[in-house]
Amino acid sequence: MHRLNAWLRRHPMVVDAAWASIVLFLGLLPNSDYADSGWRLDSEILVAVLLPLLMVFRRRFPDVTVSAATGVALAQVTADIEPGGSAIAYLVFAYTGAAFGQKWTSRLALAAGLSAGPLVFWQMNPLKTTVQAGEAHTRPYNLAEAVLIMVLMSTPFILCWAWGRLTRVRRAYLTELEDRAARLERERDAQAKVAVAAERARIARELHDVVAHNVSVMIVQADGAAYVLDNSPQQAKEALGTIASTGRQALVEMRRLLGVLRTADTAEEYVPQPGVEELPELLEQVRTAGLQVDYATSGHPRELPRGVELTVYRIVQEALTNVRKHGGPDVHARVAVDFGERELAVLVEDDGRGSTDEQLAAGGADGLGHGLIGMRERVGMVSGSLDVGPRPGGGFRIRAVLPLKAAH
Q: What is the mean pLDDT of residues 344-372?
A: 66
Among 65, 75, 147, 67, CA closest to 114: 147
In angstroms, the CA 137 to CA 127 distance is 10
Q: What is the mean pLDDT of residues 325-335?
A: 86
Q: What is the mean pLDDT of residues 269-289?
A: 78
pLDDT of residue 338: 92
pLDDT of residue 269: 42
Higher pLDDT, 207 or 323: 323
Q: Terminus-to-terminus CA distance in the chain, angstroms?
A: 67
**Is pLDDT of 161 > 90?**
yes
pLDDT of residue 26: 86
pLDDT of residue 327: 80
Question: What's the whole-model pTM score?
Answer: 0.45
**Is pLDDT of 202 > 50?**
yes
pLDDT of residue 131: 46
- 219-250 residue pLDDT tens: 777 877 787 777 887 877 877 787 777 777 77
Confidence of residue 353 (pLDDT cuts 50, 70, 90): confident
pLDDT of residue 210: 67
- 248-264 residue pLDDT tens: 777 766 666 666 555 44
**Is pLDDT of 336 > 90?**
yes
Q: What is the mean pLDDT of residues 371-388?
A: 82
Cα Rg of the chain (Å, integer):
45
The winner for highest mean pLDDT among 85-99, 268-282, 360-374 is 85-99
In angstroms, the CA 398 to CA 319 distance is 7
Share of the chain above pLDDT 90, in %: 20
pLDDT of residue 255: 67
pLDDT of residue 295: 92
Cβ atoms of 250 and 215 closer than 8 Å: yes
Which range among 71-80, 211-220, 306-315, 346-355 shows the weakest confidence by mean pLDDT?
Answer: 211-220
Higher pLDDT, 112 or 267: 112
Q: Residues with Cβ < 8 Å from 43, sequence gap 6 or more?
A: 76, 79, 81
In angstroms, the CA 223 to CA 216 distance is 11
pLDDT of residue 107: 92
Higher pLDDT, 206 or 322: 322
- 162-171 residue pLDDT tens: 999 999 999 8
Q: What is the mean pLDDT of residues 64-89?
A: 86
CB crowding 208-232: b at 16 or more within 10 Å, else e? bbbebbbebbbebbeebbeeeeeee
pLDDT of residue 268: 42
Which range among 126-130, 305-309, 383-387 shows the weakest confidence by mean pLDDT?
Answer: 126-130
Which range among 28-32, 86-90, 177-181 shows the weakest confidence by mean pLDDT?
Answer: 28-32
Question: Measuring CA to CA, how many Å separate 3 from each of 7, 174, 209, 347?
Answer: 6, 21, 59, 70
Cβ atoms of 397 and 388 closer than 8 Å: yes
Q: What is the mean pLDDT of residues 132-148?
A: 65
Q: What is the mean pLDDT of residues 355-375?
A: 56
Q: What is the mean pLDDT of residues 6-14?
A: 78
Cβ atoms of 296 and 336 closer than 8 Å: yes
What value does the mean pLDDT of the chain take? 79
Confidence of residue 360 (pLDDT cuts 50, 70, 90): low
Counts of helices then strands in the chain (DSSP H, E): 12, 7
Which range among 40-49, 68-77, 289-298 shows the weakest confidence by mean pLDDT?
Answer: 40-49
**Is pLDDT of 130 > 70?**
no
In angstroms, the CA 258 to CA 255 distance is 5
For 239, other C-beta atoms within 10 Å of its C-beta total 24
**Is pLDDT of 381 > 90?**
no
Confidence of residue 366 (pLDDT cuts 50, 70, 90): very low
